[in-house]
Amino acid sequence: MSQPVERIAPVEHVHRDVRGGGLRASIFGVTDGLVSNVSLVLGTAAAHPGHGFVRLAGIAGLLGGAFSMAAGEYISMQAQREAMQRELAVEAEEIRRRPASEQRELERLYVRRGIPPDVAARLARELMADPEVALETHAREELGIDPNALGSPWVAAGSSFVTFALGALVPLAPFLTGSSGNAEVLAAVVLAALAALVVGAILSRVTVRGWLFSALRSLGICAAAGAVTYGVGSAIGVAVH
């Protein structure tokens, strides 16, 4: 009696989409907002200029940093996108004008990668039969560009603006109340430390690092920045009333 054949379910791997620029801008934005504003707020508070000055500095840092981050991300992503589009246009023109030459180029590329010449020739011929497929193939193989994943400048700008503002709001929040004193400084330190740990732990979800290492690294960077600026503020002092 024959044994039943065991069916093995195919293993599927689910990958996150990390190509569009939004993820990078979000992580960079919230980290930059947290570190820069905790430095600004603590450095200003250490000079004892008064509650209102600290609040004003924090709000200015939040808004100025968020707009700066958004503008920088938009310009850089748009410039990169336009450069890629130019290269794709050049490649499309070459495919239109010299298809035979481009097909031989594709054949040689596959042969260098270890594919037998006859298989490489057949594969290149089939890929070149469709202009859109030919352009996408040449873009990936020659230029290292995915035509379908050039990134969105608006997504990058929006992500960086919102996440920077959220990160910058954390150390500023205690100073938005009407009271003043050392309690706000302590609350800002605690909130910033917790936020840094959370950001680091979340970052580990999209990297190969463990959550503890990533969280402690984020905390260390934030603590170092805040400590330096607090020390500078204390040394200089303002005492404006």
Q: If you average pLDDT over every residue of the chain, what do you get?
A: 84
Q: What is the pLDDT of residue 148?
A: 80
Report the pLDDT averaged over residues 10-38: 68
Q: What is the pLDDT of residue 179?
A: 62
Percent of the chain beyond pLDDT 70? 86
Q: Who's near 50: CB < 8 A, 6+ residues apart?
A: 180, 240, 241
pLDDT confidence bin for 20, thresholds 50/70/90: very low
pTM: 0.74
